[in-house]
Structure 1
Amino acid sequence: MRLILVRHGETPTNVDYLLDTAVPGPGLTELGERQAAALPRALADEDIEALYASTLVRTQLTAAPLAAARGLDVRVRDGIREISAGDLELLPGHSADGERYMRTAFAWAAGDTRLRIPGGENGTEFLARYDAVVAEAAASGAGTVALISHGAAIRTWSAARAHNVDVPFAATHRLANTGTVILEGSPTDGWKALTWAGTTVTPSGEPGPAGEPLDGPE
């Protein structure tokens, strides 16, 4: 299966760089709406047969133009929502708390899934819920599936599950709004990342020359 993980369009709390993970969350900025409107063209070469979004409003708004262009229903699933910030909710991302949030998430990808974000979830819980939606998508029989999800969730899950993406790579390669990670594989055979933000991912996990990433701020 070809799996396309798409970060949502820009939100007001992205602009302010806050840890905003609670449901339902904010909508999109004007730029975020333009980013969402550009997705059908950006993914025009992808034969997407199923489309999923998380329970946060911003992913469903991002998915809507793509769903309309392809005549697809948006399957809303809680499992692909953002990693819960718990007690760190709405604190600045550029702070010790923000660093703790991402450091914990990447520790999960490295195998220490027992760690818990204060007031939030641990790695076992996060990976189980995300895996469940990916498994559902794989079981649907669709050849190509797009999941509209969230930056930390996509980077953490990809580092944990793609054999050619390690934690240092995911930690140093942020995804801009509507940036994509494209993988192929299956829940049983494992996953290989093909592109990250529009550039080829080589077997060593280093980026190689390919297309340009989708426009949008970090």
Structure 2
Amino acid sequence: MSGRLILVRHGQTVANVARRLDTKLPGAELTELGVAQARTLGRGFAQQPPTALFASQALRARQTAEHVELAARVTTVVREGLHEVQVGELEDRSDEESHTLFMKVYESWHTGDLRDRVPGGESGMDVLDRYLPVVESVRADYLDSGSGDVVVVSHGAAIRLVAAHLGRVPGSFATSNHLANTESVELVPLPGGGWECVRWGTFQGPFHDTGRAGADDPMG
């Protein structure tokens, strides 16, 4: 039986608290609460350790993964391509105008226009083109052989886009249901190369538009 691909959002950062668009590497560090969240996450995985643990290059993802590594006794492997959606000229901004613009573009990706982008930022296709090859290599190396679960510590906006794309999750659900810090999405590989999304934060599949309001943190 194939294992699960568990895409975990990092713990809280100082940028999250300030509602600041923080996407460039290496990025902000975890707050004290973020460290506590990461420790709790690690304790959860200690009960059922993953076969492999990956993290994006961002400091917040690596710091979060460290606590999973300590608790679950599995080595973190940092991979390129797993970082957050790059927001270009909106970097470090926390005003409502920048949040609104980013969300408008992000929502357009989930309705089919993957070419759209904020000024100087990535398109949805750019994100998928760098992220999906990592997912497929992880699948080939671990999941298709039934080696167990794989945990990837990454970033909210990127996770939601990738999970919705792979698991055919309705765009209205993906854009309405943000991931809180250290929440995760679970994907299960299907025969023939597809994926099923079985859990999204606190929700179990199948997924429909719940109408839940978006989070204060636009990158969640």
TM-score in same-fold range (> 0.5): yes
Alpha-carbon RMSD: 1.9
SS of match in other structure, 2:60: helix
Aligned to 2:63: 61
Q: Does 2:137 correspond to 1:136?
A: yes
* Corresponding position: 1:14 with 2:16: yes
State whether residues 8 and 149 of structure 1, in contact with CA within 8 Å, keep that contact through their aligned partners in structure 2. Answer: yes
What residue number does 1:167 align with?
171
- Secondary structure in structure 2 of the residue aligned to 1:84: coil
State the distance in 2 between where 1:25 and 1:187 align. Answer: 38
1:138–1:187 contact (8 Å) kept in structure 2: no
Aligned 8 A contact 1:138 1:186 in 2: no
1:46 Cα deviation (Å)? 3.9
The offset of 1:188, in angstroms, is 5.2
CA contact (8 A) 2:172 2:209 kept: no
Contact 2:173–2:208 (8 Å) recurs in 1: yes
The percentage of counterpart residues that share the same residue type is 40
CA distance in 2 between partners of 1:99 and 1:77 (Å): 30
Q: TM-score, normalised by structure 1?
A: 0.87
Q: Which runs of 5 or more structure 1 residues have no equivalent in the other structure?
A: 208-217
2 CA distance for matches of 1:148 and 1:188?
26
Asked whether 1:114 is paired with 2:115, we answer yes
Matches within 5 A, 1:185-200: 185=189, 189-200=193-204
TM-score for both structures, normalised by structure 2: 0.86
Cα distance in 1 for residues equivalent to 2:136 and 2:191:
6
Letter in 2 for 1:110: T
Residue in structure 1 matched with residue 208 of structure 2 by the alignment = 205
User: Which residue does 2:215 correspond to in 1?
Assistant: none
Matched, 1:154 2:156: no
- Please, which runs of 5 or more residues in structure 2 have no aligned partner? 211-219
What amino acid is aligned across from residue 64 of structure 1 in structure 2?
E
Amino acid paired to 1:116: R
Q: Tell me the matched-pair count.
A: 205
Secondary structure class of the residue paired with 2:159: helix
* Cα deviation digits, residues 169-191 of structure 1 (max 9, x gap): 01111111001111111595222
Structure 2 residue aligned with 1:178: 182
For the Cα contact (< 8 Å) 2:88–2:122, is it kept in 1?
Answer: yes
